[in-house]
Amino acid sequence: MTNPRILAHFQESADLKMKAASVLAQPIEQAIELMFTALSNGNKILACGNGGSAADSQHFAAELVGRFERERLPLPAMALTTDTSILTAVGNDYSYQEIFSKQVQAFGQAGDILLAFSTSGNSGNILAAIEVAHERDMRVVALTGKGGGKIGKILTDADVHICVPHDRTARIQEVHLVSLHCICDGIDVALFGDDA
């Protein structure tokens, strides 16, 4: 009765997690350092993505403003994917390409972090947001896949690139979620130590 396709999804997901761990541990650690430094300096994190990656942006903001696993003060992470008045106004009056970059112009300050999710690395509105972040002296943590696409090409050495070694959107999103949880845990550890 059980569906072999379901078992194959779980197997592929588990296999990729084991494969990705060794490749991604270092950039994830760098992302934690970058974000913790920014938060310690009174800066904030702006998160964006499309579709499932919009969900990741909001999931991350929820863990930081609310809590992950330990009680702490709210931390300033803001998803740029939630204000449908802004999204539809900018999409309608300017272009869909600018729905995130206009918000980075509005809210981004030097020292803030842009957390950008794109499984293909090619979404135009994410590329535009990264460009504006660079103009504002913000550093970028990009979670991508499929070789990193155009995003991989515009990141600088000051940015962090967490590029999942896979070509299937669903599998990449699953690794993005574990990476996001690692970052939340790393921020808690930086605040409280690792003995809890």
User: Site residues (CB under 8 A) for its own copies?
Assistant: 1-3, 5-7, 9-11, 13-15, 17-18, 20-22, 24-26, 28-29, 32, 51-52, 54-56, 58-59, 62-63, 66, 68-69, 82, 84, 168-170, 173-174, 177-178, 181-182, 184-186, 189, 194
Q: Which does 163 bind (CB under 5 to 8 A by kind): ligand M7P, its own copies, none?
A: none
What 3-state DSSP class applies to 145?
strand
* Burial class of residue 105, CB neighbours in 10 A (0-12, 13-18, 19+): middle
For its own copies, the closer CB: 39 or 87: 87
For ligand M7P, the closer CB: 76 or 111: 76
Which residues fall in the annotated binding site? 50-52, 59, 63, 92-93, 118-120, 123, 173, 181
Q: In what order do the strands lie in the sheet with 139-145?
A: 77-79, 45-48, 113-117, 139-145, 160-164
**Which H or E element spans position 68?**
none
For ligand M7P, the closer CB: 37 or 97: 97
Q: Concatenated DSSP letters for 78-110?
A: EETT--HHHHHHHHHHT-GGGTTHHHHHHH--T
Q: Which does 123 bind (CB under 5 to 8 A by kind): its own copies, ligand M7P, none?
A: ligand M7P
DSSP state of 70: S
